[in-house]
Structure formats: structure tokens, C-alpha cells
Amino acid sequence: MAVQNCRMPLILRKVITKQSGGCVRAVWITKMTDRYLSCLGTNYQIHREKGNVTGKNVMTGNVDKFGGITVHLNERDFPPDISESAFSIQLRDSLSHWRAEGRIAVWLHVPLIQSRFITAAAKHGFTFHHARHDWSTLCLWLAEGESRLPGFATHQIGVAGAVLDEASGKVLVVQDKNKTKNAWKFPGGLSEPGENIGDTAVREVLEETGVRAQFKSLLSIRQQHNHPGAFGMSDMYLICRLQPLTFHIDFCTQECLRCDWLPLEELAHTNATTPITSRIARLLLYGLQHGFHRIDLPVEQLPAVYSGMFYQLYHRVLPVNAA
């Protein structure tokens, strides 16, 4: 029977929601609700000890290698006819059970449509850990001492592309709209989840300027804490060296006030730019004159310790005869 078709008898519903335990509740569960509870699936479990029902409703979840448990409050296991008070009782019983089992923490994965359960969870000590578009994750530390749960993401990643035409010594720059100072800067933006740094730089350059380019290396990393554009979190700003594949500018008028190819020498010494742009212009000028191998951090893909996964490592090229 599908969950949405389950119907608990009215008298039994009152017994379960108004009684906190005891014989009456146990008798009704034994006689009337085995079918209903099995209909709800894995969420409601009847624990029998020596033939008697304990009356505990223990949520099921996935136990991780650290001893924590994650419960997903999906609509299949937690249908709309479960009240907040019934959920609170079930959560209370579950917490007692998990503490007895020695679980160190609980994670509640709450879809936006199930947000009515958050208030009940908060009354049991849960706090927000993080949230995305249509769900949030709450957590509760069960073990002794202060919580050792890891925090959520602490930084946002911005990536810019310094597109250098080596033949002319010019670099592609833009001026952003809606800025108090119309300073020249390299086109860039926030990296998307799962997007490699070089791919972000190439994408942002194309979106803002219409110029197609190829990733060559990582040039610099800037770290800034309490960044206003990161909701007070820390910001990592990475600038990459790109090689142009096209040169015609067709810039985005929604984001940019103007766009141009400027000589590196001019960009390195003009006051109409930001300190970081000026510094990278000087770095590019040095690479153009003395070799990019002196400034580049090229990328190498290596196997991760996690089976079947890889990561990208940016570092100076090792000499052939290096140990």
C-alpha cells in the first residue's frame, strides 16, 4: 500500500499523539497499527522485547564511519499527515535510542517542503549546519564534551582570467558596472560547484568579453577574510594566465561598462586599476620578458586516495633531474 493511502484510525491517532507511553498505547499498537506502521515503511519500527511492544518509534538512517547517523526527512517516510507533535515524540525516542547505541551525532536532511519539522528539531537541540536551494541540514552533537562536528564551507572561490596576447604584449581587461571606481580589472567571477579553476576562468572571460581563450597556468591566489560579497565569509580569488584563441570583443553590457586590450606596461603603472591587477600585470610583464616558466603554476592531475577519484595540483614544474 502506498504511503499516501495509509489511514490511521481516529481513536488510535489520539492514543499515540496524546499518550507518551504505557499500557494503553502498547495495546492499541499491538492490535491495530502493525499494518499502518509497516505501510509507512522503514520510518516506524516496532521493537518487541519478550513478546511485548516497547512503543518506541525509531527513525532509520545511514550510519557513517565516524559513528554519526544521517536521517532524510523525505515525504515517503514522513508523509503530510504526520503532525509536528508526533514527529517530536518520534525524534525524542530516536535520540534516546541513538544515545544508547553510542552514536556521536545526528544529521537531519530536511527538504524545504518538510520545513515544518525544523521547529520540533530545534526544541531537541538541533541547529542549522548548512543549506542549499531546496533543503537544509541540521545537526546535533550527542557525545560528551564540545562538538567536534566539522563546519560547513568557509570560503567562496572567485577566478579571473588574465588573457595575454604575447605577440602584441596586450592583456584583456574590463571595467565593471555599478562600481564606485571604474577601475580596470581582469574578467572573472565565482567558480561553480564541481568546476575546475581553469574552466571557470575560460567561461567567465567568454561570458563577459566574448573572447575565447585557453587555460595556461595559475598565477596567484588572494585570500581575504570577512569579504562583503561573501556574506562575511572568507574569499579566495585566483588569477589564471590564459592564451587568446579569438580577439574580437563583444562584451556583456549587463556586467561591464567597457572592455579593451591594454598594453601590459600601461596596466602595470596606471592609477586606473586595482592593486592586485597592477601586481599581476607586472608579473605577466616579467614572464613575457624572462619566460613564463618563472611565474607559472601549471596544473597536473593526480589520483586521489579515494578510489576512482582524481584531483588537480598546481605547482612549479620540477626540473628533469629533480630527486
Give the strand pairing for 62-63 and 68-72: antiparallel
Cell 535510542 maps to which residue?
97
Contact 47, 59 (CB under 8 A): no
- Beta strands (DSSP E) in the chain are 48-49, 52-53, 62-63, 68-72, 105-111, 127-131, 135-141, 155-165, 170-176, 188-190, 213-224, 234-244, 256-263, 299-303, 310-314
- Active-site residue, from 84, 101, 207, 266: 207
Q: Which residues, in sequence order, are CB contacts of 270 under 8 Å at separation 6+? A: 184, 278
Q: Is residue 148 classed as helix, strand or coil in its secondary structure?
A: coil
How far is the C-alpha of 155 from the C-alpha of 232, rounded, in Å?
A: 10
146 has catalytic annotation: no
Active site residues: 207
